[in-house]
Structure 1
Amino acid sequence: MRVAILGAGAIGAYVGAALHRGGTEVHLVARGAHLEAIRSDGVTVLSPRGDFTARTPATDDPAEIGPVDYVFLGLKANSYASAGPLLTPLLHDRTVVVAAQNGIPWWYFHGLKGPYEGRRIESVDPGGAVTQVLELGRAIGCVVYCSTELEGPGVVRHLEGTRFSIGEPAGGRSQRCEAFSTAMVAGGLKCPVEDDLRKDIWIKLLGNAAFNPISALARATMVEIATHQGTRQMVRLMMEESLAIAAALGCHPEISVDKRIDGAERVGEHKTSMLQDLEKDKPLELDVILAAVVELAELTGTPAPTLRAVHAVTDLLATKVGVA
């Protein structure tokens, strides 16, 4: 099995290092000082589960790698539509794309039986631009329950979690999912193949759709949001609205809103990825995390006043990011 990690940042480099440790042939696509450090010294993982170093091939030119069996996408979802030049050299007829993204994926209605089967979500796939780059038939979904950060070029700090749930858009279990899961487990990760990955998508999205935008607006950490009376109630309302939207789409994740908030509180003084992007003046990953949820509320006729209000203000904030 040949695997390319396209976007070998904190999560991508961690997955690549783990797969390499498990015996998979892995190639990392990175850039800048991070790439040079990997070429020189490999990827160093610092983890409470044990430190290790993986010396994997790395490049900024996917053409040097050529076609692989699996591409693990470590890119932010807002860069998918422009990823074609990087992705194309890695593909053969049966290459599988494992998309480890936050929020609602571009493939959400692919293979989903019911009134919305085959529908495109404009927020995440504007004009079909993402589908043109990432063919629906290649896609395997991936929900990441793992926290990492780049401590320096070539150095990944693994904070917690090792689960990468995967699944076919059409549901059920496939040989290509099972093979990728086996490789991930050999590298020391958890990689369950879910019969219905959409439940996992919504469970994670409950937290992301609420905590990410509020953290950016308030410049607040997880524990600050969860322990402030006003924002805790806002998070609860956003989560309840999100569950109602999921139910209207036929998905019923079994989760307690209060337990979800308590779990976020235990994470402590952690800055969400959206707040980190804001502080670095990077584009906010708002479309897949919140705009798509609002779009799905409109599609299903589900009331979502809190989600709409928070999205409106965060969307205005997003227009100011990167503006001098």
Structure 2
Amino acid sequence: MKVAVVGAGAIGAYVGAALDRGGAEVHLIARGKHLEAMRERGVTVLSPRGDFHAKPHATADPGEIGPVDIVFLGLKAYSYADAGPLLKPLLGPGTGVVAAQNGIPWWYFYGLPGPYEGRRVEAVDPGGAVSAVIPPAHAIGCVVYSSTEIESPGVIRHVEGTRFSIGEPDGTISGRCTAFSQAMTAGGLKCPVEKNLRSDIWLKLLGNVAFNPISVLTRATMGEIAAHPGTRELVLAMMREAAEVAASLGSPPKISIERRFEGAAKVGDHKTSMLMDYEAGKPLESGTLLKAPVELARLTGVPAPNLEMVAALIDLLTRQGA
């Protein structure tokens, strides 16, 4: 299997190194000092499961690679619309684009039978800008249950988790998903193919939709938010609203709100990714994590006053920083 990793940062380089270890033909697309280090020395993964090293091809130019079987997209979702020059040389007629993103994906209603089939989610695909770059027919959904960070250029620290759940938007178990799952498994990762990946998307989103924006507004860790009576109730209220939206769209989360909350609370004094991005002056993933759920609540007629309120506060905060 020929795989290109577009955005070979912490998660992308980790996946690329694992795929290379498993025997896939891997091409990492990155930039800067991280790219230079990977070109010279390859990728070193430091992991509690065992350290390993791989040296896949690394480049800044996708034109060197040509069409591939799978593109693993390690970019933030807000970068997708501008990724055309990186993706175009890699896409063949059957290329699958595994989008390792948080929150509601641009392809959400593609292949989903019902009253909203084919509808665009404007918060994540404004004016069809993302669909124009990554047609939904190429999309393979991916929910990441893994935490990694770049310790230094070319060196990835694997913190926890090895599961990357994937699935076709139309719910079929396709040959390309099966082949990619096998390649990931050969590299030491877990990659189940799900018929209803949307339930997994909502399950992870239940925590992100609340903890992430509240952490930015309060500068608090997940443990601090969970321990404070007021923010605890706000998180639970937001999670319940998101779960109702998910259920109205036919993808109720697989576990209870209380169990999902406790799982997130156990993380303890950990900063959310959105808070770390905010402190680093980076754009926030508010489109996929918050604006899209609010848009879907309005679409389905599910009352979501707490989601609406927090989304408004985050919107104002980001506008002030613009």
TM-score, length basis structure 1: 0.98
What residue is the counterpart of 1:109 in the other structure?
109
Question: Which shows bigger deviation, 162-171 or 310-319?
Answer: 310-319
Counterpart CA distance in 1 for 2:64 and 2:212 is 37
* Deviation (angstroms), 1:195: 0.8
What residue is the counterpart of 2:185 in the other structure?
185
What residue is the counterpart of 1:246 in the other structure?
246
What residue is the counterpart of 1:304 in the other structure?
304
Q: Match of 1:70, as an amino acid?
A: I
What residue is the counterpart of 1:258 in the other structure?
258
* Deviation (angstroms), 1:320: 3.4
Q: Match of 1:117, as an amino acid?
A: E
Counterpart CA distance in 2 for 1:40 and 1:271 is 33
> Deviations for 1:264-293, whole angstroms, at most 9, x for unmatched residues?
122122211111111110111110110000
Counterpart CA distance in 2 for 1:254 and 1:184 is 24
- Secondary structure of residue in 1 paired with 2:110: coil
Q: Match of 1:23, as an amino acid?
A: G
Matched ranges for 1:120-269 at <5 A: 120-269=120-269
Counterpart CA distance in 2 for 1:265 and 1:115 is 36
Counterpart CA distance in 1 for 2:112 and 2:63 is 34
Counterpart CA distance in 1 for 2:265 and 2:151 is 23
What residue is the counterpart of 2:29 in the other structure?
29
Counterpart CA distance in 2 for 1:277 and 1:320 is 16
* Deviation (angstroms), 1:172: 2.4
Counterpart CA distance in 2 for 1:75 and 1:64 is 20
The answer as to 2:21 corresponding to 1:40 is no
* Deviation (angstroms), 1:64: 1.5
Counterpart CA distance in 1 for 2:227 and 2:54 is 40
Q: Match of 2:259, as an amino acid?
A: K
* Deviation (angstroms), 1:313: 0.4
Q: Match of 1:191, as an amino acid?
A: C
What residue is the counterpart of 1:10 in the other structure?
10
Question: Which shows bigger deviation, 297-306 or 36-45?
Answer: 36-45
> Deviations for 1:73-93, whole angstroms, at most 9, x for unmatched residues?
000000100100110011122
Where do 5+ consecutive residues of structure 1 fail to align? none
> Deviations for 1:24-81, whole angstroms, at most 9, x for unmatched residues?
0100011111111111111111110001111111111111122111100000000100
Q: Match of 2:275, as an amino acid?
A: L
- Secondary structure of residue in 1 paired with 2:132: helix
What residue is the counterpart of 1:20 in the other structure?
20
Counterpart CA distance in 1 for 2:170 and 2:94 is 17
Counterpart CA distance in 2 for 1:202 and 1:95 is 26
Q: Match of 1:209, as an amino acid?
A: V
Q: CA RMSD in A?
A: 0.9
- Corresponding pairs, count: 322
Counterpart CA distance in 1 for 2:174 and 2:297 is 31
Counterpart CA distance in 2 for 1:212 and 1:316 is 16
Counterpart CA distance in 1 for 2:289 and 2:320 is 18
> Deviations for 1:108-138, whole angstroms, at most 9, x for unmatched residues?
0001011111110110100000000001111
Counterpart CA distance in 2 for 1:157 and 1:228 is 31
* Deviation (angstroms), 1:95: 1.2
Counterpart CA distance in 2 for 1:94 and 1:114 is 26
> Deviations for 1:93-115, whole angstroms, at most 9, x for unmatched residues?
22111111100001100010111
Counterpart CA distance in 2 for 1:137 and 1:76 is 20
* Deviation (angstroms), 1:19: 0.4
Counterpart CA distance in 2 for 1:308 and 1:203 is 20
What residue is the counterpart of 1:271 in the other structure?
271
- Secondary structure of residue in 1 paired with 2:266: helix
TM-score, length basis structure 2: 0.98
- Secondary structure of residue in 1 paired with 2:190: coil
Identity within the alignment, %: 69
* Deviation (angstroms), 1:171: 0.4
What residue is the counterpart of 2:319 in the other structure?
319
Q: Match of 1:29, as an amino acid?
A: I
* Deviation (angstroms), 1:198: 0.5
Question: Which shows bigger deviation, 158-167 or 223-232?
Answer: 223-232
- Secondary structure of residue in 2 paired with 1:267: coil
Counterpart CA distance in 1 for 2:196 and 2:99 is 16
